[in-house]
Structure 1
């Protein structure tokens, strides 16, 4: 399966369990692996035969900077769902969301979730 990788997309959101996270917000980093057939785009050299990276970024921005959720797991699930709704040629997706400096005891660089979804599993 062919892949489009978009790495290190950065957004500011208000996701988290604690009131200070919902009030102050923080930066979130998203990595996406979009699985689709890119052979037609490779032969035609036409954007409409692929998935527009700018549109992918806008869908991700809308989700991550949108309605606050308690868990980044829920953000990742919503992001995968929206990608399937937006791009008919998308067959599978891997979403990684990284939350730097989570407000939990101890010293952490970040907390992350990674989900993998296929179109037939999309709601």
Structure 2
């Protein structure tokens, strides 16, 4: 079984969406990240070098969500996978949830979200 570090409820302002006004006005996006890796070395050593610095991962996700607009939540998640796997080699699997609570839907709802899970081998060829 793999261990997991979770960053939940990261909120950022972004300009993603299919509709032109979403790219102009922007809105709030909430990201949940579950990073699967082996944490035994960090548990034994008490050394940050033996784990993933979740503060740096937060900054990586922030850079992507607040960066260049995309149309689809799926594409935004894919950008997160690409960057996190490239920048943090200890992470073996990653689960990304992208919430768009202000999605332009004519109706009452709490949240729109996508959930995706990927393995390092799908992004990094070693």
CA RMSD of aligned residues (A): 0.8
Equivalent residue runs for 1:89-104 within 5 Å: 89-104=90-105
CA distance in 2, matches of 1:109, 1:71: 19
TM-score computed with the length of structure 2 as normaliser = 0.95
Residue 81 of structure 2: aligned partner: 80
Please state how far the C-alpha of 1:108 moved relative to its aligned partner: 1.7
Runs of 4+ in 1 over 6 A off after TM superposition: none
Please say if residues 16 and 22 of structure 2, whose CA atoms lie closer than 8 Å, have aligned partners that are also in contact: yes
Looking at structure 1, the residues matched to 11 and 71 of structure 2 have their Cα atoms a distance apart, in angstroms, of: 19
Note the 1:55-66 alignment, pairs <5 A. Answer: 55-66=56-67
Are the equivalent residues in 1 in contact too, given 2:28–2:102 (CA < 8 A)? Answer: no
Partners of 2:24 and 2:111 lie apart in 1 by 19
* Aligned equivalents of 2:107, 2:13: Cα separation in 1: 23
Q: Which residue of the partner structure matches residue 43 of structure 2?
A: 42
Q: Which runs of 5+ in 2 are unaligned?
A: none
Q: How many residue pairs were aligned? A: 123
